[in-house]
Amino acid sequence: MIIVTGGAGFIGSNLIQQLNQQGETDILLVDNFAPAPNLSGPKFFNLYGARYADYMDKHEFRAALKAGDLAHAKVRAILHQGACSNTLEDDGRYMMDNNFTYSKELLHFALGRSIPFVYASTAAVYGASTSFAPEPANERPLNVYGYSKLVFDDYVRRLMPQIRSTVVGLRYFNVYGPREQHKGRMASVMHHFTKQLKESGVIRMFEGSGGYSNGEQRRDFVFVNDLARINMFFGGLLPESPAQPVQAVVNAGTGHARTFKAVAEALMAVHGPGKIEYIPFPGDLKNRYQHFTEADVTTLRAAGYTAPFTELEEGVRLTFATA
């Protein structure tokens, strides 16, 4: 059995679809279908066509871990995508329980049984930095979401000298792809720009900020299927997966930043022509917004993952071919 937490979410549902393409269907899907104010639609739409063996609510799953109910389950890998990913959430207690304590519970379950454990971290740990190597000097989160992920990364790092099984943290950069329509404001710019373009023929993006001119802010945009493959690679689920256990916290991005203007141009190449309009930078994002991100992929490559990443234009095409 493969456990995928957050399996109905954006990344988790795409991961399950990719696992299915590899012939994997013995999957325990863990998620929380309770309504949430930051969601713009139900997550179960993401699971159309997905094949998995069983489902558990996140709270039921955590209770089962604590009670030892899963002690005898034959688990091949744990791919932990479950978290609160709302970067505007300010409830630190809630965020730390979801992103730190829950992850810690699952980590120790995996360590006690030598199960490969691959988990989602985030580029938000870099926050105020302009250098993106996974080193403490660069880790300066701007919100409690990034902080909660950094605290867990640091917990894993402290344990690494005594870990013998695979434990890999993946710091996701700006992820885009199909199955993110439920994410509301937290959806990628591809989703928001597409909606604007189809409704009005105009893509609206921020005026210059952070030292960048209009539309020239740059992000490392990574296609969700690439992240699914990285999870599967370190989870030991691909023919080319490492033969020996890996312990690492690495960046999961392309290593090549692209402008928001380039995103708009790629979308117009798919959906048809439109105009770009620049709008004032929103006040609620001041001091909590990354104007530039670009993954340093040195440690990812050193950990053994050498596959190329999908180019932005191709990823945008594939997103709307499969959405």
Residues marked as catalytic = 145, 183
- Which residue in 70, 147, 151 sits closest to 104, CA to CA? 151
Instruction: Classify residue 319 by burial, with Cβ atoms within 10 Å: 0-12, 13-18, 19+.
Output: buried
Q: In three state form, how does the secondary structure of the chain look?
A: CEEEECCCCHHHHHHHHHHHHCCCCCEEEEECCCCCCCCCCCHHHHHCCCCCCEEEEHHHHHHHHHHCCCCCCCCCEEEECCCCCCCCCCCHHHHHHHHHHHHHHHHHHHHHHCCCEEEEEEHHHCCCCCCCCCCHHHCCCCCHHHHHHHHHHHHHHHHHHHCCCCEEEEEECEEECCCCHHHHHHCCHHHHHHHHHHHHCEEEEECCECCECCCCCEECEEEHHHHHHHHHHHCCCCCCCCCCCCEEEEEECCCCCEEHHHHHHHHHHHHCCCEEEEECCCHHHCCCCCCECCCCCHHHHHCCCCCCCCCHHHHHHHHHHHC
Beta bridge partners of 169: 119, 249
* 178 touches 184 (CB < 8 A): no
* 231 touches 183 (CB < 8 A): no
